[in-house]
Amino acid sequence: MAVGLVAPERLLPVPGIRLSAVAAGIRYKNRNDLVLIEMAAGGAAAAVFTRNAFCAAPVHVAKAHIAATTPRLLLINSGNANAGTGKQGMGDAQRSCVLAGSALGVEDREVLPFSTGVIGEPLNVTAIEKALPGAVAALSEDAWMNAARAIMTTDTLPKGVSAQVCLSGGTVTLTGICKGAGMIRPDMATMLGYIATDAVIDKADLKALLVDAVNLSFNSVTVDGDTSTNDALVLLASGASRVGLSGDGDRRLFADALNALAMELAQTIIRDGEGATKFITLDVRGAAHRDEARAVAYTIAHSPLVKTAFFASDPNWGRILAAVGRAGIDDMQIEAVQVWLDDVQIVVDGGRNPEYREELGQTVMNRAEITVRVELGRGDQRATIWTTDLSHDYVKINAEYRT
């Protein structure tokens, strides 16, 4: 039921990066569920991870490994999160790295493990071990679409974006894939996301670029307000193009391309949110500081009453106003607040717009893509958050997730 989303026809290969996807039978039958992403020696990597206190075993292992060395291989399984699995889960994640490293001829600490799926069930490491030889044999630069499909869980479509940017030393490529449709309110990145480039970028600069991109994109989306135990986003720079960021101009060009790609990827998650029928942009302006604007936007986005009104296409704008009022801004000046549904102003100076008519609001609410703009009148800071409505299908999908 994705809103305005289609699967990419093709994703650009990134020199220095090879991928594969195979069926290991970890949870799903007759579909690929194990992915390898290999980076050639000499590259750099950066990553951000969930801040959930119950983060999964592979998150612990991946964080330790990337802190110790530059990864050469990402090992990703879908269908099982390997979260809430205690010491056995840690052992399984570490064992998976040993097996994958051995299969590709790299050290186990050069492998980053990632898992997504059901929480609290042991990971079938034996299935991974049996599938690894085939996964290594299938490695190819042109397997991004296969990988995008294999990491899906409740996603209805594979998610991926490619871009190229001309720098002073030549053209570099960026390609990224991600998965996620529910348990979405990142506190670092996305559910699982992998972006690669062939540019030459050192580790410190790569991390700074990644953090900036994440804050503009993946940390600005929410489906249901739930931060997953397994969220992770990795940025790989293979350096295969031998084109670096020469000066501020190149860095700005590359950062703009990365930010745009990350934003588009993040929005694919919202467009494919579990049961989503509406893609909603929350644009909060006039805040005293950015965190204040984000607090208002997230309060609206997480209101079940607001979300169900959007699902029903009901212009019950009082629910939006109530959410703004409970966003935690103690000294809010009510008479300064203005609210719009797309181009229809529903609130003027803190109250109903005298010119507002129900049929105008209804016209907007009937649309699949809607922007709610809130002006707080407190300063010049703003924030944009993307979210979904809350439908019958969201409840059904999550009620039946394990059956």
Catalytic residues: 190
The amino acid sitting at 11 is: L
| Residues present in the chain in total | 403
Give the containing element (helix H, strand E) for 352: strand 351-352
The full DSSP string for 257-317 is HHHHHHHHHHHHHHHT-TT---EEEEEEEEESSHHHHHHHHHHHHT-HHHHHHHHTT---T
As given in the structure block, the two tokens for residue 380 are 């010049």
Give the containing element (helix H, strand E) for 386: strand 381-388
Q: How far apart are CA 318 and CA 375, in angstroms?
A: 16
As given in the structure block, the two tokens for residue 79 are 């269908």
| Residues in contact with 330: Cβ distance below 8 Å, sequence separation at least 6, in sequence order | none
DSSP assigned state of 227: P
Phi and psi for 122 in degrees, rounded to 5?
A: -60, 145
Residue in 150, 152, 178, 159 with CA at minimum distance from that of residue 32 = 150
Q: How far apart are CA 187 and CA 172, in angstroms?
A: 29
Structural contact between residues 110 and 70, judged by C-beta atoms closer than 8 angstroms: yes
Residue in 91, 95, 84 with CA at minimum distance from that of residue 52 = 84
Structural contact between residues 285 and 376, judged by C-beta atoms closer than 8 angstroms: yes
Q: How far apart are CA 265 and CA 351, in angstroms?
A: 37
**Can you list the alpha helix ranges (DSSP code H) found in 69-108?**
86-104
